[in-house]
Structure 1
Amino acid sequence: MRYLSALVLLLPLVAALPSSPIEARGGKRCSTSPQCGKASLYCKRGTCSPRRELNGPCYKDFGCLSSRCVNKRCVKAEAPTTPALLALGAKCATSVSCASGYCGKARCAVPLPVGSDCYKAVGCTSGVCTSGKCAAASTTPTTPTTPTTPTTPTTPTTPTRDPVIVPGNLAENPSFEDGTLEPFTTNGAVTIVKGGAYDGQYAAQLKPTANAPAVIGQSLGGTKKRAIISAYYASISYLASDVFIPLSENACSITALINGHTRGYDAEPVFVTTGQTDWVQHTFYVPSDQEITSIAIGTACDKTATATIKIDGVSFVRAEGPTNGANWDLRGNLLRNPDFDNAGKSWTVSGDVTFDDSALTNGVDQSIGVYSLFKAATPASASAPSSASLTQIFNTFGAAGSMNGRFIQHVDAFASSVPNAACRLIYSLNHQVLTTIGITQVDGPSYDGQDYFREHNTDPSITYTTPGLGWPAEMKLSCDPGASATVRVDRMSVFASAN
């Protein structure tokens, strides 16, 4: 992929406007670790606390100066290793992680022959995916007499939708509705254009050529950094016009980049095609084992190919998971703060829901850290159930797919003064119930008298046929008249798989 190499070689670090976070010193309140102002401090449950030396107590990796916490003790950091390529059938996030060179529907697979169903070019042996089918590679001669005629879409005079607001977005001015590119800085041929945007009125226009990639990027201020990262979802809307690809081996592409573009590419690229007449939404999965300091969207063409690419609705959202004692690998989770280590940040509370880190009923510490504590009690004389709930807005960017969720829960208390009265823990996505757990008794001791959290991993039973922006994920405890319960919930997640 020569255009990717060119992108790296020709791009300096995209500088951006500096940011001045409000700093919080040791013992002061905080919401993110960078607010504490020192590398030796981190934000622990809303307060700046010292990071521990080797063998010091801990409950998460960033609580240690070594950034590694094992069995609640700080240990030496492991030397980074290069992961082996994944075998056929193994779970995957990117095609470059597979020995076969293709990750399809989250599994390493063999690229398919011409005529097979596809959704990206790398899934075809020909390298061409058109209208959902693998197509034969072009046999256009080296010097075509009639090159591809550029296609310019009709530019609407008014915006078709309001600017999209993506919760948790790290990018500032993501839809360029300030009328400028700031705080994005640019490399190559990049301008701001008015009219014909995906959302609002403005879009960024990039014109990459073989010798000059075009990039927009911005640095992240201190309050937007976080040291414990598993991955990011980078989403854009793009519209390619004036696409000139004279040879079958030519290509123009878009990719998401982080931290100064130090790698060949940070996410699997998307290839632009001729004849595009409408905006396309695309989401990149960007693995990262380091703190993010800068974000960028890069475009590049190789050889004699050229294109004009509008970019709008840029978002970089953390895919956060638990950092210690996790039951699952939650990389790819669409929810933010899923293990409540930042208390109720990113969550909307209704009713009696608090955040605590006290030991379980029998005093057994399982390195859960902070969890959410639901309480609901309905008088016997009431005409309707009472409830307590947590809600968070999330986004799915795929055109179609299915969703599932995971969480762990523990029933601390249950009481009923009315026969057959019960409580229910209900997990719903986009107002569709994913699972319901009936509660009629306390979770008693198990495993030699120790309490435990029950694990729930739902099947992908909820499907969608359009990208979901602003969908709610809700966990609700509801009790019938005459019933009451106290339930602990932790490690919530939402996963989306494209069809």
Structure 2
Amino acid sequence: MRFLPFLLVALPLAAALPASTDNASLEARAAKSCTQSSQCGSVNNFCNRSKCDTRKSLGASCYKDIGCISNKCSSGKCVEGSALTNGERCETSKSCASSYCGNSKCQAPAANGASCYKAAGCQSGICTNQKCTAPATTPTPAPTPVDKTPTDDAGNVAKNNHFENDILAPWEKDGDVTVVKNATDAYDGKQYASLRATAQYGEYSYPELYQSVPSGYYRIRNSVSDTPQAKAYAVSVQYRVPEFIAGPKGLGCNLSFGFDNEYMEDTSKAFLPVNKKVADWTKFETMIANNRTSIEDIGFGLICPEGAAVVHVDDVQFVPTAYPESDPTDVAQNGGFENGGTNGDPWKYQNGATLATNNAKYGGRYALVQSGQSISQDIVISSTAPKDSYNAYQVKFQYFVQSVSSGVSSATPCSLYLAENGGAPDASMDITATSATDTYASFSKVASANSSVSNIKIGVSCPSGQTARVYVDQVQFLTKLDD
């Protein structure tokens, strides 16, 4: 009984103790002295001015980040943060580096199948019936089959032009030419031709393909009558270059087009430069034309002066077309530039203007005129003309703006111009970057003066810092009886 008074005295003290025995809370309430937050016993406490204190909720006053549960103090208030690690106390998922605050603690979102009570607690972002679930998937539709049935241009007369009959006939070949069969990567159909050339083959061993076109007469499709054999063909081919090796001098190869046994000669009518790999099928178009006689066969071959190349070919088209008609009033000489700049060429190529053959559309050659360059020709009147001189001509030609570039800003564009008798331009048209096209267009102007015209010039002029490249072909000087 002697201990009873002591127990009675102790009871009020025990009753005063709180139900919780959270050591961190006790330490905070006791305002334990500290010099750093790690001395305060819990990540939910921090050292606040040398005394342990609890970290504050959003909106509470603060003076440093660690005083906030969100770990972010801005303008004296606890605001949303994003740097709390897993296990730390949190109020919102935005405060957690894991982007999930569950049961007031940052934690990693759960995998599919785990228990959950909100979407943020799942890696999938979907909580269904208190289980993390995977998102519904939509089956990827099967790709639409590409129709690769070979088709021909209207009027095409080339045979076996898709190489689908397992042999080359009626094509004839020289050099390394093969048919690639049952190919899934053909341009159309299932087969294509492959030409391989290396410099070691020698001049007459380069691969080539050629084919006769209808002799005597050919029938124009959708026509009821026969037409004499064509003197011109629009030729097109799909090609790609899976292999290319430049030679020691850096020279490339050419895919050369021609007619009547001139496929691989200097007189070939068009060249496609082969100087790099080309992964995708690409279309090349040109015109093969003969202004003297009819064309009997058309061919093409791969020429590599050094180095090596493999070119795949498919969908070859030979479409008869009209040779550009002449005009009886035209007094221009060599208007198609077909004599190749040999002796007797009436054209004067000034300041670097040259003849070119790549991608010729009319015949095999054209004039390449760049900024600051020009071509000109003296007028020669035949004895059958009604006058021995004229003071006006309608000048017509086909032009192709290959490129226009500008290194400086200028309000003045480049121009394609006409001049007479060595004078200043008296007719011109602007050419800008938007003028660059992949087709020829017609240019027609009347050049005139008070006196007779003895010389006509076609040139390209650009302001300083700008450049332009223009192809010129099929030039005509049509006499005008202007007095």
State the TM bucket, normalised to the shorter chain.
0.3 to 0.5
Q: TM-score, normalised by structure 1?
A: 0.33
Task: Give the number of the structure whose alpha-carbon radius of gyration is greater.
Answer: 2
Q: TM-score, normalised by structure 2?
A: 0.34
Q: Of the two structures, which has the highest relative contact order with CA contacts closer than 8 Å and spacing of 6 or more? A: 1
